[in-house]
Amino acid sequence: MATSTTAERTLNQLLIKDVPIPIATLDKKLRFLTYSQKWVSMHGLKKGFNGLPFFTVMNNLPKEFLPILENCLQGNSYSSKGKKFLSKNGEYISLKWNINPWTIANGDIGGLIIVLENVTSSKNKEESLKEAQLLSRIGSWEVNLQDFKVSWTKMVNIIHEQPHDYVPQTYEECFNHFKEGKHRDKLYELSNLAITKGIPWDTEVKMITGKGNELWVRTKGQAVFVNGKCVRLFGVCQDVNDRKIAELKYSEQAERTQRATAASNVGIWEFYTKDKFTIWDEMCFKIHHVDPKHTTAYEGWASSIHPEDFSRVLEEAYWLSKGKGNGIIEYRILLTDGSIRHLKAVATFVTNKEKGNNQAIGVITDVTKEKESAKRLREFSEITREQNNSLRNFSHMVSHDLRSHATNLSMVTGFLLDEKDENEKYKLMGMLKEATESLNSTVHNLNEVVQSSSNVYEQLIPIELKSVIETVINNINVLYKEKKARTIINIPPTAKVLAVPAYLDSILLNLFTNSLKYSATDRPPIIEINAIKNEKYLELTFKDNGKGIDLNKFGGKIFGMHKTFHRNKDARGVGLYITKNQLEAMGGNISVESKVDFGSTFKLIFKTP
Amino acid sequence: MAKTNSVCIIDDDSIFVYIAERLMKESNFCEKIIVFENGKQGIEGLIEIDKSKKEMPSIIFLDLSMPIMSGWEFLDSFANTPISNKEDLKIIVMSSSINPNEIEMIKALPMVTAYIVKPITPSDLEKIITM
């Protein structure tokens, strides 16, 4: 029991009451003796609990606190700079305390002096705000528009890379930190609107820091009005440089990607094997000529793909999902107008074993142009190869023929110089003439070959076919009669072809002389000529009943330059080779069907007027 | 005494035939020369000689480029023709062609003894007789 006097107690109470800390004194039985005003406000109590037990008053304190107090009553002091407890009403509270026993005159412990601070709310709120401001690099500022005094937090200076004690001296100076040009102008405009119309702003602009660095900041501001007059501007300033730069970089890249895919006409797609679910981008629909409004991607694919390619593509996709193949699948699509486009897909499979689902992702492009040019290239190289071949044959033939004539000439001339016998001399002179004529004819033929290879398109004129045939028959009258030949011409007199007159003569003459030369020995030659005309071309068939040609043996060579140069008198030079060349030069062609001992049928195609 | 009895020339080039005959006579190459204008005449002629038991030529000079039946066709047809002692016959192919492919193809044929690029010369004849 306390031995202090009432007067003492009253004094104590008065002293303690106004101490600006939460302090209280307890007696030995832990009943309140005195307490400060601060204690009351801090712990949310109502005054007038003198003499009441500590735990009755402080009913929110956890029970762990009792042994602490009891321990101190043994003469110990105990302090904590902050400890977290679960309070009886279930909230965490942080307490900070300092407990000391007090003694009476004989040295016995009379009770406890407790300083107990509840630091729960104050600690958390203040620190997290500080942290948040620091982390988000937000500073706040204020401009008094009456004296144009500016004040702002340290963070603004940190963001501005200015000395910590820097503060702009004038209103203008506030704006100098924003980058000159559109950024600074924007801020002028926004602050003007805030001052005149009270519209707050929130925008992102570039500023130049005290160290000369460019920096993106977010600035927010609003005006305060007193009696309809703007007196103050305040707001925050946040460093958003990293985010903004990343954002700008991303949008630039995204735009570039979009532009690139749009320009390269690449479609991007996804496909799930399990349910055939397909995702197409806009370009995919465009490439497949399918309207996204009317169909899903898979239906669009299935309806546009060429029916002949459908199962093959699914099969290739299956193998691809098993990791086979090079990831490229090509197919054709059939458009409504009947035309065909070639598409090329590059696919990668992503396997999801758990779900038993394979996902394919890839790109697709229209490669029709490439396909077509590749085809043209192949055709072109085929033509080149053919021309190369025939040129090589041609050169061998020229060499062969010129050599043989030249040799003959030189030998015969040699004999002639030495010959004494007049009869023999005469015979040699005849040979000399013959050899000279052969050489002449060879050179003539060479000319024809060279000329027929050059472009004669401009020289094509319409010619009546029937009258030309009749003229040619007249020209070979002697041989024709000798062979007792007959010709049936089933061509209307008005039928015309586009041809070079000299070529047409030469072609027909060649066919006639061939038929007569290689006529059957047991029957007179009968030649039948027919013509079928279609839109652009006239097809002329030239049929004889001669010896025929063994096409199995000569098929490929018959229009080539092999075996075509004969020295015998009636051989028309390089024959069928020239015929073929002349026809092709005029935009036509020639083919042959033949049966040994029955005859040959040549089919000639001419352009028509 | 001639170096060999009878030879045969199959060629449609009358000038070349004349030249060859003249060379052969001047060098006393053979007793007798038989001439055919093309491969067909050649085959038919040789069959006729074989049938009538006349003396078979020991050397055939064959041109390649001929109408009706070329040298190539002659070689084909000759291989399939029943003529006695065919193996004893020497076939010399002659041509003005210097096409390497053609020369290769001819040399690959076992029944061809030699290939001569025209014109034929006395030294060609010398070589042939020793073959």
Radius of gyration of chain A from its Cα atoms, rounded to whole angstroms: 56
pLDDT mean over A439-443 = 80
Q: Measured between alpha carbons, how far is B70 from A520 in angstroms, rounded to an integer?
A: 18
| Residue A34 and residue A100 share a domain | yes
pLDDT of residue A566: 41
Judged by DSSP in three states, A245 sits in helix
For residue A5, what pLDDT is reported?
59
Contact (CB<8Å) B65/A434: no
Task: Clarify whether residues A460 and A585 are in a common domain.
Answer: yes
Number of domains in chain A: 5
What lies within 8 Å, CB to CB, of A63 at 6+ separation is none
Tens of pLDDT, residue by residue over A451-463, are: 665 556 667 889 9
Q: Are residues A358 and A381 in the same domain?
A: no
Task: Give the max Cα distance, chain B.
Answer: 40
Q: Is A562 contained in some domain?
A: yes
**Residues A539, A596: one domain?**
yes
- The nearest alpha carbon in chain B to A399 belongs to B97
- Name which of A14, A65, A17, A69 is nearest A41 in CA terms: A17
At A431, the pLDDT band (50, 70, 90 cuts) reads confident
The chain-wide mean pLDDT, for chain A, equals 83
Q: CA A462 to CA A538: how far, in whole Å?
A: 12
B118 interaction partners in chain A (CB closer than 8 Å): 403-404, 407
Give me A34's structure tokens.
């005195």
Chain A closest-CA separation from residue B82 CA (Å): 22
**Are the Cβ atoms of B16 and A412 closer than 8 angstroms?**
no
Pick from B49, B3, B9: which is nearest to B29 by CA?
A: B3
Q: What is the DSSP string of A372-441?
A: HHHHHHHHHHHHHHHHHHHHHHHHHHHHHHHHHHHHHHHHHHHHHHH---HHHHHHHHHHHHHHHHHHHH
* Angstrom distance (rounded) from CA A108 to CA A110: 6
In terms of average pLDDT, the best of A105-109, A455-459, A562-566, B64-68 is A105-109
In the structure, what pLDDT confidence band is assigned to residue A532 with cuts at 50, 70 and 90? very high
- Six-digit token pair at A151? 């004040």
Question: Does residue A470 register a pLDDT over 80?
Answer: yes
% of chain A with per-residue pLDDT over 70: 89
Q: A75-89, A154-168, A203-217, A465-479: lowest mean pLDDT where? A: A75-89
C-alpha to C-alpha distances, B39 to A352, A433, B64, nearest whole angstrom:
77, 26, 9
More reliable by pLDDT, B87 or A115: A115
Which range is least confidently modeled, A309-313, A395-399, A546-550? A395-399
Q: Cα distance from B120 to chain A (closest Cα, Å)? A: 10
- What is the C-alpha to C-alpha distance for residues A199 and A189, in angstroms, rounded to an integer? 11
For chain B, count helices (H), then strands (E).
5, 5
Of the three residues A434, A450, A466, the one that is the final residue of a domain is A450
CA-nearest residue to B64 within chain A is A563
pTM tops 0.80, yes or no? no
A331 falls in which pLDDT band (50, 70, 90)? very high
Measure the CA angle with vertex A93, ends A87 and A96; round to 5°. 120
Q: Chain A partners of B22 at a C-beta cutoff of 8 Å?
A: 415
**ipTM here:** 0.73
Burial code (b: 16+ CB inside 10 Å, e: under 16) for A587-609 equals bbebebebeeeebbbbbbbbbbe
* Region B56-83 average pLDDT: 86
- CB within 8 Å: B96 and A401: yes
Any idea which of A350-359, A404-413, A557-566, B53-62 has the lowest mean pLDDT?
A557-566
For residue A252, is it within any domain? no
Domain boundary among A366, A387, A408: A366
What's the distance, CA A157 to chain centroid? 46
| Out of B15, B67, B119, closest to residue A566 by CB | B67
Helix, strand, coil in percent for chain B, rounding step 5? 40, 25, 35
Average pLDDT over residues A33-40: 88
Does residue B12 sit at the A interface (CB-CB below 8 Å)?
Answer: yes
Residues A469 and A573 in one domain: yes
- For residues A437 and A475, state if they share a domain: no
CA-to-CA distance for A497 and A587, rounded, in angstroms? 11
List, for residues A563-591, the tens digit of each pLDDT value.
Answer: 444 444 334 345 677 788 788 878 888 98
Task: Sketch the domain layout of chain B as residue ranges.
Answer: 4-130
**Among B69, B96, B101, which would you mutate to test the A interface (most chain A Cβ atoms within 10 Å of its Cβ)?**
B96
Task: Report the pLDDT value the prediction gives residue A34, as an integer from 0 to 100.
Answer: 87
Percent share of chain A, pLDDT over 90? 19
Q: Do A566 and B98 touch (CB under 8 A)?
A: no
- Examine the domain organization and report whether A54 and A22 are in the same domain: yes
Confirm or reject contact between B122 and chain A (CB < 8 A). Answer: no
Contact (CB<8Å) B98/A411: no
- State residue A128's pLDDT score: 64
What average pLDDT score do residues A169-182 get?
87
Q: A485 and A498 in one domain? A: yes
Q: Please answer yes or no on whether B16 and A571 come within 8 Å at the CB atom.
A: no
Chain A, 360 to 419: residues with Cβ < 8 Å from chain B are 396, 399-401, 403-404, 407-408, 410-412, 415
| CB-based contact B38:B12 (threshold 8 Å) | yes
Which residues on chain A are in Cβ contact (under 8 Å) with B120?
Answer: none
Looking at residue A227, the DSSP 8-state letter turns out to be: T
Inside any domain, residue A114:
yes
CB contact under 8 A, B67 and A403: no
pLDDT band at B110 (very low <50, low <70, confident <90, very high): confident
What pLDDT is attached to residue A555?
57
Q: How many CB pairs under 8 A join A and B?
A: 61
A567 interaction partners in chain B (CB closer than 8 Å): 12-13, 65
Q: How far is A350 from chain B (nearest CA, A)?
A: 57
Query: Which residue among A415, A434, A567 places its CB closest to the CB of B12?
Result: A567
pLDDT at A9: 65
Of A84, A83, A92, A113, nearest in space to A101 by CA: A113
Query: In chain A, whose CA is at the least distance from the CA of B20?
Result: A411
The pLDDT-based confidence of A216 (bands split at 50, 70, 90) is very high
pLDDT of residue A360: 86
Closest to A494 measured CA to CA, from A443, A538, A458: A538
What CATH number is given for B4-130 in this structure?
3.40.50.2300
CATH number of A326's domain:
3.30.450.20
A435 interaction partners in chain B (CB closer than 8 Å): 15
Nearest to B119 among A407, A435, A517 (CB): A407
Which band of pLDDT confidence, cut at 50, 70 and 90, is reported for residue A122?
low
Boundaries of domain holding A10: 6-124
Residue A250 lies in a domain: no
Which of A80-89, A251-260, A524-533, A573-582 tops mean pLDDT?
A524-533
* Confidence (pLDDT) at A58: 86
Span A147-163, average pLDDT: 85
Q: Is the pLDDT of residue A2 over 50?
A: no
Q: pLDDT per residue over A223-245, tens digit each?
A: 888 888 888 889 988 888 888 88
Question: Which segment of A32-36, A263-267, A470-474, A534-538 scores lowest on mean pLDDT?
Answer: A263-267
Regarding whether A443 and A471 lie in a shared domain, the answer is no
**B-interface mutation test, from A405, A410, A547, A563, most B Cβ less than 10 A away:** A563
Q: Is residue A260 part of a domain?
A: no
Strands (E), A128-170: 138-144, 149-152
Distances (CA, A) of A102 to A98, A105, A321: 13, 10, 86
Averaged pLDDT for residues A429-444: 83
Based on the domain organization, do A309 and A290 belong to the same domain? yes
* Mean pLDDT within A276-292: 88
At A135 the pLDDT is 73
Q: Are residues A480 and A573 in the same domain?
A: yes
User: Is A324 in the same domain as A294?
Assistant: yes
